[in-house]
């Protein structure tokens, strides 16, 4: 019996490590699934009344994190992230550690779409090469990110105004 246990110990340790990693990944997915949990969010709507569940990136920490590390299955097609700024400014975004392509909308203070970059390529990880995509520089107040495979995102164009349906900006 002792010979069996000692002979199988390396395999047992390996399995324990694998199970621990699996459980840790499960915890990570649970956190991702709750992207709105504990965060400020609003509901935006298009002029046609289609709702966009929108998590706010207000703090510098949230803005730096953005959608990095969020898996596609955890960020639905009608979800968005709004980078909220108190003043207009020059904005440029990049896509490190992302897992799905994005449409990025540069908005004015009244939530009117001024500029759009479509199908911004994702880049899992932080290492280059290949180069991590960076948008052009645009003058805007806010920036909205949505999955590029969203039918709703495809309908949003420069000149469209989004409406704050539920919630409030700080």
Does residue 28 share a domain with residue 49? no
24 shares its domain with 52: no
Given CA atoms 142, 148, 150, 155 in this order, what sign does their dihedral have? positive
Alpha helices per DSSP H over 34-150: 60-65
Integer angstrom CA distances of residue 68 from 3, 96, 139, 148: 48, 6, 23, 16
Backbone angles phi, psi at 120, to 5 degrees: -65, 120
Residues 24 and 47 in one domain: no
- pLDDT tens digits, residue range 50-71? 999 999 999 999 999 999 999 9
Token pair recorded at residue 99? 């897992």
Q: Are both 20 and 61 inside the same structural domain?
A: no
Q: What is the CATH number of the domain that holds 78?
A: 2.60.120.1140
Q: Clarify whether residues 112 and 57 are in a common domain.
A: yes
> Sorting pLDDT into bands at 50, 70 and 90, what band is 40?
confident
Residues 81 and 29 in one domain: no
Q: Are residue 10 and residue 44 in the same domain, yes or no?
A: no
Question: Which range of residues forms the domain containing residue 23?
Answer: 1-33
Q: Is 12's pLDDT higher than 50? A: no
Decide: 112 and 160 in contact? Cβ < 8 Å: yes
pLDDT tens digits for range 153-166? 999 999 999 999 98
Residue 91 · residue 106 · CB < 8 Å: yes
- How many domains would you assign to the chain? 2
Mean of per-residue pLDDT scores for the chain? 82
pLDDT of 130 higher than 70: yes
């Amino acid at each position: 019996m002792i010979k069996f246990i000692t002979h199988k110990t390396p395999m047992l340790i390996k399995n324990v490590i694998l199970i621990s990693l699996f459980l840790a990944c499960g915890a990570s997915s649970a956190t991702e699934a709750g992207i709105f949990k504990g965060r400020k969010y609003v509901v935006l709507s298009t002029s046609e009344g289609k709702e966009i569940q929108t998590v706010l990136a207000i703090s510098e920490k949230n803005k730096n994190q953005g959608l990095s590390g969020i898996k596609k299955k955890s960020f639905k097609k009608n979800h968005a992230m709004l980078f909220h700024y108190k003043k207009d400014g020059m904005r440029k975004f990049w896509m490190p550690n992302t897992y799905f392509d994005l449409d990025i909308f540069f908005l004015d203070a009244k939530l009117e779409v001024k500029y759009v970059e479509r199908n911004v390529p994702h880049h899992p990880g932080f290492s280059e090469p290949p180069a991590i995509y960076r948008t052009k520089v645009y003058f805007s107040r806010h920036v909205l990110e949505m999955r590029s495979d969203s039918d709703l995102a495809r309908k949003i164009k420069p000149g469209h105004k989004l409406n704050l349906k539920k919630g409030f900006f700080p």
